[in-house]
Structure 1
Amino acid sequence: MIVFINISLYLYIFVIGCVIGSFLNVVIYRVPKEISFAKGRSFCPHCQAQIKGIHNVPVFSYLWLRGKCAYCGEKISSRYPLVELFTGVMAVFIFWMYGLSFQSAVVFITGAILICITLIDFDTMTIPNGLVIALMAPALLCFFFFPEVGILSRVIGIFVVSLPMLILTLFIGDAFGGGDIKLMAVAGFMLGWGNTVLATFIGLVLGGIVAVFLLARKTEARHMAFGPYLCIGIMTSLLFGDIIIRWYLDLFGL
């Protein structure tokens, strides 16, 4: 009986995560186009027809319609169901880590915002100020619900990465985008200085690997989006930062 209840609870969390993922798709599509994501029903990006509720069920509708619009027949990007699935899996994983708690809510909200930042930056090479401002909310909540990170560490975290990034950008044009700098300032308060450095290191490594791959394919890598890799680093540090840092220190007997 307990096993059935647990499975049902995790399934419920997954479904809720997928539904929120569907909303994130709306944000990702509309914010760069300066369309309100709080008003108006979802519509097909090709024919602009409003999508009926039965055609807007996360993941299921995409499979049922075979990845095509029910009205114009145009292909729908597979990214939509993938975002929904990923958000659902993320919700389950966070619930598994933190249980039904305020910590779960804060970490999930952070992850949801970072998903939006990641995909918008991939699409437009920009990080909207509105999403950085939205990230301030869970960053402030982290101060209350993750008290193990002290206020001094958080204040230092605001500047430990963002300030060097700003200085580099002033001396080397386009070294980092303004969105990247603001993102790391907010993340610095959220994570504290140690995990902020770790998040940046992860972002640099991942971004560097992708840049080498693009250069090997003779693809322009100079203006690649860096925000997505920082977002991966931020989420990784939020979830596992202390474990990774402890492992690293133990590796060298520190």
Structure 2
Amino acid sequence: MNWLTISIYLSKGLIYLVFFLIGITVFSFANVVIYRLPEKKGFTKGSSMCRSCGHKLAVKDLIPIFSWIRLKGKCRYCGEKISVRYPLVELFGGICAVGLTAYYGITLKALTIFLLFTVFTIITLIDYDTMEIPPVLNVAVLILGIISIWTVGGVSILDRIIGMFCISLPLFLIVLIIPEGFGGGDIKLMFAAGFFLGWKMTVMGFFIGLVAGGIYGVILMARRKKGKKDHFAFGPFLCAGMAISIFVGTQLLDKYIDFIKAAFYQ
């Protein structure tokens, strides 16, 4: 291995390190939104503070991941444990930033999808905590969908419009018959994400989320007394399914269609 090859690897490593730091910083802010938005607190103003003792946190307490490690997962002032979820969310942001950069390069496409994943993460954890998806987050997904027309491409306007209704409309009709079938936030999420993804990725994303959510639901019922009704947040599974579909959704749907054609027309 010559010096030129080594320098190329070092340059790439430095680039990925920069994007990792950007990713954990953005998702550190996402943690703030996850905490403050459901409580209708402003997340662009005001100082961060310990949720247990209310003490204002210093800058050295807010360094993503590293502050949590240095403080051994405890508040510097009251000693209360800080949830491991905070650094895990930040780590996930760093991984997303590096992974998308490696996959798409330093492009607007990578940036747009990274922002979508950021919103999906916020939706996932807020829905998990509160069983609700704040409308502003679905609006953010729709805005990113509009931006993606120019930055992501690959999906026609017609496919995007069909994507808005191909899942959200059936879900809405189901809710008219079974009021507790799906949450209104889930329907709006599929409507907004459908414009970003187009109908193919939306269908596959919903299918993946439905299967994952169904498995989780069965596990919940198995762990509780027979006959007890369990309700759980479906948004996290929808977000995960749609995130996966961005990479493999179209290919999976095409293979499924080819399989159906082969089974019925030969």
* Contact 1:211/1:221 (8 A) holds in 2: no
Which residue number corresponds to residue 38 of structure 1? Answer: 44
- Is 1:165 matched up with 2:171? yes
Cα distance in 2 for residues equivalent to 1:23 and 1:89: 16
The size of the alignment, in residue pairs, is 254
Q: What is the deviation of 1:61?
A: 0.7
Q: Which amino acid counterpart does residue 182 of structure 1 have in structure 2?
A: K
- 2:59 pairs, out of 41, 53, 75, with 53
Which residue number corresponds to residue 198 of structure 2? Answer: 192
Cα distance in 1 for residues equivalent to 2:125 and 2:145: 20
Which residue number corresponds to residue 140 of structure 1? Answer: 146
Within 5 Å, which residues of 2 pair with 1:100-115? 100-115=106-121
Distance change in 2, residues 1:195/1:204 (3 Å): same
- 1:98 pairs, out of 95, 104, 111, with 104
Q: Which amino acid counterpart does residue 243 of structure 1 have in structure 2?
A: Q
Which residue number corresponds to residue 240 of structure 1? Answer: 248
Q: What is the deviation of 1:243?
A: 3.1
Cα distance in 1 for residues equivalent to 2:217 and 2:88: 24
Q: Could you state the TM-score of these two structures normalised by the residue count of structure 2?
A: 0.92
> 5+ unaligned residues in a row in structure 1: which ranges?
none
Which residue number corresponds to residue 226 of structure 1? Answer: 234
Cα distance in 2 for residues equivalent to 1:231 and 1:52: 33
Q: Which amino acid counterpart does residue 97 of structure 2 have in structure 1?
A: A
* Contact 2:204/2:250 (8 A) holds in 1: no
> 5+ unaligned residues in a row in structure 2: which ranges?
1-6
Q: What is the deviation of 1:240?
A: 2.6
- Is 1:128 matched up with 2:147? no
Q: Which amino acid counterpart does residue 131 of structure 1 have in structure 2?
A: L
- Is 1:214 matched up with 2:228? no
Look at both structures and tell me which one has the larger radius of gyration over its CA atoms: 2
Q: Percent identity?
A: 45
Cα distance in 2 for residues equivalent to 1:119 and 1:189: 23
Q: What is the deviation of 1:15?
A: 1.0
Cα distance in 1 for residues equivalent to 2:169 and 2:126: 24
Moved more, 136-145 or 185-194: 136-145
Distance change in 2, residues 1:7/1:247 (3 Å): farther
Q: What is the deviation of 1:237?
A: 1.3
Report SS of the residue matched to 1:103.
helix
Q: What is the deviation of 1:59?
A: 0.7
- Is 1:76 matched up with 2:76? no
- After superposition, the C-alpha distances for 1:53-86 in whole angstroms (9 at most, x for unaligned) are 1111111110110100001110000000000001
